Amino acid sequence: MIDTSQSIEAGQSLECDLCIVGAGAAGISMALQLEGSGLKVALLEGGGLNPPPFSEQHPYQGRNVGREYSLIGTRLRYFGGTTNHWGGWCRPLDPIDFEKRSHSDLSGWPFRRAELEPFYRQACLLCEIDPPLFELQDLGDSGRPEGEFFHHYDPQLVAKNFRFSPPTRFGQRYRSDIEKAADITCFLHSTLVEMVREGGKVVRLRARSEEKEFFVQPRATVLALGGIENARLLLASDGQDPQGLGNQSGFVGRCFADHLGRTLGQVLTSWKAPYVMYSHQGVQLLPHLSLADEILRREGLVNFGIAFLSSRGQQLLPSDYLHDQTLFRQWEGDPKMGFYHMVARFEPTPNPQSRVTLIPELDSYGLRRVQLDWKLNNREFESLDRISEILARRIGAAGAGRMRRGFLDAAGARQADMTYQAHQLGTTRMSDDPKLGVVDADCRVHSLDNLYIAGSSVFPTFGFANPTLTIVALAVRLAQTLQSRLGTE
Amino acid sequence: MAKRIWTRRDFIAAASAAGGFALGRASLEWGGSDETVRLQFEQRLPGLVRKVSLPPEVGEAFLTRNPGLDDMEPLSRLLQQRLQLSGWWIQWTGLPEDQELLDSLAEAVRRDFERPQGICNLHGWYLSQTECHLAAARVVAIREGLMEDVAGPALGYAQGDLYPVDAWGPQSTPRGEAFNAQPDGSSAFWFHISGAAPSLKIYLGRLEMNTTVRDELVTASLPAEEVSSILRRSGRYKVVAADPERELQQTIGEFLVLDEAPQPSSEDASSQGLEVDSLRDTRLKTVLDWGPKSTPQGRPFNPQPSGASAFWIDVRPDRTESTIKVYLGNRPLRTTVSAKVITASIPAAEAESLLRDPGRYPLYLVSRARAARQKVGDFVVEAPETR
Q: How far is B242 from chain A (nearest CA, A)?
A: 15
Distance of CA A21 to the CA centre of its chain: 18
| CA dihedral sign, ordered A367, A26, A231, A64 | negative
- For B65-120, the DSSP string reads H-GGG-SHHHHHHHHHHHTT--SHHHHHH-PPPHHHHHHHHHHHHHHHTTSTT-EE
Q: Tell me which DSSP letter residue B45 carries.
A: H
Which chain B residues touch A326 with a CB distance below 8 Å? 51-52, 102, 106
A320 and B127: CB-CB below 8 Å? Answer: no
Rounded mean pLDDT, A142-147: 69
Q: What percent of chain A has pLDDT over 70?
A: 94
**Residue B186 pLDDT greater than 90, yes or no:** no
Highest-pLDDT range among A245-254, A310-319, B31-40, B197-206: A245-254
B336 φ, ψ (degrees, to nearest 5): -125, 120
Interface pTM, i.e. ipTM: 0.85
**Residue B232 pLDDT greater than 70, yes or no:** no
A397 and B105: CB-CB below 8 Å? Answer: no
Which among A316, A328, A394 has the least Cβ separation from residue B122? A316
Nearest alpha-carbon partner for A268 in A332, A318, A343: A318
**Residue B10 pLDDT greater than 60, yes or no:** no
Dump pLDDT digits (tens) for A356-380. Answer: 999 999 998 999 999 999 999 999 9
**Cβ neighbours of residue A166 closer than 8 Å, sequence gap 6 or more:** A88, A128
Residue of A nearest to B108 (CA): A327
User: For strand B325-328 and strand B280-281, is the pairing parallel, antiparallel, or unpaired?
Assistant: unpaired
Rounded to the nearest 10 degrees, what angle do helices B129-143 and B98-112 cross at?
130
> Residue B35: what residue type?
E
> Residue B257: what residue type?
V
Dump pLDDT digits (tens) for B291-324. Answer: 899 888 888 888 776 677 889 898 876 655 556 7
Q: Do B269 and B329 meet the contact criterion of CB atoms below 8 Å apart?
A: yes
Dump pLDDT digits (tens) for A272-315. Answer: 788 988 887 777 889 999 999 999 999 999 999 999 998 876 56
B82 φ, ψ (degrees, to nearest 5): -60, -35
- For B209-274, the DSSP string reads PEEEEETTEEEEEE-HHHHHHHTTS-EEEEEEEEETTTTEEEEEEEEEEESSPPPPP-S-GGGGGH
**Cβ neighbours of residue A469 closer than 8 Å, sequence gap 6 or more:** A90, A91, A92, A120, A123, A124, A127, A129
User: For strand B334-337 and strand B207-208, is the pairing parallel, antiparallel, or unpaired?
Assistant: unpaired
pLDDT of residue A391: 97
Dump pLDDT digits (tens) for A217-271. Answer: 999 999 999 999 999 999 999 988 999 999 999 999 999 999 999 899 999 987 7
Report which secondary-structure segment, H or E, holds A64: strand A63-64
Q: Tell me which DSSP letter residue A450 carries.
A: S
**Residue A415 pLDDT greater than 80, yes or no:** no
Dump pLDDT digits (tens) for B122-168. Answer: 989 999 999 999 999 999 988 887 776 666 676 767 666 788 887 88
Which string of b and e fits B53-82 if b means at least 16 CB within 10 Å? bbbbbbbbbbbeebeebbbbebbbbbbbeb
pLDDT of residue B308: 76
Q: Which of residues 92-131 of B touch A (CB under 8 A)?
A: 102, 105-106, 109-114, 119, 121-128, 131
B131 and A321: CB-CB below 8 Å? Answer: no
pLDDT of residue B12: 47
> Angle A71-A73-A79 (CA atoms, 0-180°, nearest 5)?
100
Residue of A nearest to B207 (CA): A318
Which chain A residues touch B106 with a CB distance below 8 Å? 326-329
Q: How far is A412 from chain B (nearest CA, A)?
A: 12
Q: Which residue, among B113, B134, B157, would best test binding to A if mutated, counting the most A CBs under 10 Å from its CB?
A: B113
Measured CA distances, A7 to A77, A185, A204, A364 (Å): 21, 12, 20, 21
Label residue B342 by pLDDT band (50, 70, 90): confident
Q: Do A241 and A372 meet the contact criterion of CB atoms below 8 Å apart?
A: no
| Distance (Å, whole) CA B277 – CA B372 | 10
pTM: 0.73
pLDDT of residue B157: 74
- What's the mean pLDDT when you consider all of chain B? 78
Label residue A143 by pLDDT band (50, 70, 90): low
- Residue A180 has, within 13 A of its CA and on its CB side, a CA count of 6
Residue A453 DSSP SS3: strand
Which chain B residues touch A267 with a CB distance below 8 Å? none
| Distance (Å, whole) CA B323 – CA B337 | 7
Q: Which of residues 315-374 of B touch A (CB under 8 A)?
A: none
pLDDT of residue B345: 84
Residue of B nearest to A336 (CA): B156
A403 φ, ψ (degrees, to nearest 5): -120, 140
- Residue B386 has, within 13 A of its CA and on its CB side, a CA count of 10
B387 or A239, which is more confident?
A239
Highest-pLDDT range among A240-254, B270-284, B295-309, B337-351: A240-254
- For A377-429, the DSSP string reads -HHHHHHHHHHHHHHHHHHHHHTS-EEEES-SSHHHHHHS--EE-S--B-TT-
| Numbers of helices and strands, H then E, in chain A | 9, 20
Dump pLDDT digits (tens) for A388-404. Answer: 999 999 999 988 889 99
- What's the mean pLDDT when you consider all of chain A? 91
B106 and A403: CB-CB below 8 Å? Answer: no
Q: Provide the residue count of chain A.
A: 489
